[in-house]
Amino acid sequence: MNIESLVQNYLEYLEIERGRSRKTTENYRHYLDRFLKWAKVNSPNQIDADLVRQYRLYLNRLNENNNPLKKITQNYHIIALRNFLRYLAKQDIKTLAAEKIELAKQAPREVEFLEADELERLLKSPAGSGPRDLRDRAILELLFSTGLRVSELCGLNRDSLNLDRGEFSVRGKGEKIRVVFLSDTARSALKNYLAGRKDVESALFARIPKGNEKAQAKYDNLRLTARSVQRIIKRYSVIAGITRKVTPHTLRHSFATDLLNSGADIRSVQAMLGHSSITTTQVYTHVTDRQLKEIHRNFHGKKRK
């Protein structure tokens, strides 16, 4: 089989046998297509260490929209190639060993989170009583209460929630299921929002047609997309007077930061965020660093005169 066919088989394997999401599969296709277009190889046995080294130089010098590729994006390309090579090895197809490819070192990722006063202003921004304000307030409170990814939020159905118990299960990355919990304010916002829903649409968050919002809400049976939620949050961040960029992921970061600031251990935060590796959760070291500073100030050098 030629290498294009093997890539196609691998992508189908990811989707069917590994249960990867459609978005993940699309990303892998993009990364592998870029490699094939650049490498111009016909067979896996043509992939060797020198070819990969030249490809990494190409990625490092590549510009997209007049900007160089970030190290993390370069690594995404290499991860896709490395995993493809692992798949080929399982099929007893001769090629470069995936273990011979190392990822580039990258600077620790900084996370953006909201300070307490910014967060409070944002959550209170949908101040009206119409269906749009009720929906948007529920979205904001739910994101902060659970730390959901925006894709997870958009995929929720009304029957996903258990408002009486204040918790529900969500299927995250890699089809992994975790339990998330509702704060009292999130549960109240969701109850108020759902009480005004007169439609039979299954999606928890659906689009609302423009018009007289004080009249009975008439939903157009269209589930909100991730882009729609991003626009909603951007709108309310402006209303709240927050000058920096605020995204759904900012609320996820704020959720984790709030837990750690309140004394939660990082393993528990890892579980609530649905991270498969503690390394991913360790991007929140800015919080533990702040706590260490307080410990140093309170306990260091107290016996010195």
For residues 176 and 201, state if they share a domain: yes
Is 275 noted as a catalytic residue in this protein?
Answer: yes
Q: Annotated catalytic, 284? A: yes
User: Which of 59, 67, 62 shows the shortest CA–CA distance to 101?
Assistant: 59
Q: Is 246 part of a structural domain of the chain?
A: yes
CA distances from 86 to 21, 79, 89, 136 (A): 19, 10, 5, 44
| 81, 127: one domain | no
Give yes or no: residues 264 and 162 share one domain.
yes
Question: Domains in the chain: how many in total?
Answer: 2
Active-site annotation holder among 71, 197, 223, 249: 249
Tell whether 76 and 133 lie within a shared domain. Answer: no
Q: Which of 10, 76, 236, 284 is catalytic?
A: 284
Each residue's pLDDT, cut to its tens digit, for the chain (305 residues) gives 799 999 999 999 998 988 888 888 999 999 999 999 999 999 999 999 999 999 999 999 998 888 898 888 999 999 999 999 999 999 999 999 999 998 887 666 677 889 999 999 999 999 988 999 999 999 999 999 999 999 999 999 999 888 999 999 998 887 788 999 999 999 999 999 999 888 788 899 998 876 655 444 555 458 899 999 999 999 999 999 999 999 999 999 999 989 988 888 888 989 999 888 887 887 777 666 666 666 667 766 666 55
Tokens encoding 67:
């900007």
Domain CATH code at residue 150: 1.10.443.10
> Which tokens in the block code for residue 4?
């294009």
Residue 110 maps to a domain? no
Q: Are residues 155 and 278 in the same domain?
A: yes
| Contact of 136 with 240, CB cutoff 8 Å | no
- Picking from 100, 124, 153, the residue at the C-terminal end of a domain is 100
- Same domain flag for 134 and 272: yes
Whether 134 is in a domain gets the answer: yes
Domain that holds residue 189: 116-294
One domain for residues 173 and 83 = no
| Catalytic-role residue among 56, 137, 253, 275 | 275
* Claim to verify: residue 35 and residue 70 sit in the same structural domain: yes
Same domain, 210 and 66: no
* Catalytic position from the list 56, 187, 252, 253: 252
**105 falls within a domain:** no
Catalytic hit among 29, 158, 173, 234: 173
Boundary residue ending a domain (44, 70, 100): 100
Same domain (yes/no): 274, 131: yes
Picking from 100, 125, 141, the residue at the C-terminal end of a domain is 100
If asked whether residues 160 and 126 sit together in one domain, one would say: yes
Is this model's pTM higher than 0.75 or not? no
Of the residues 137, 149, 187, 253, only one is catalytic, namely 149
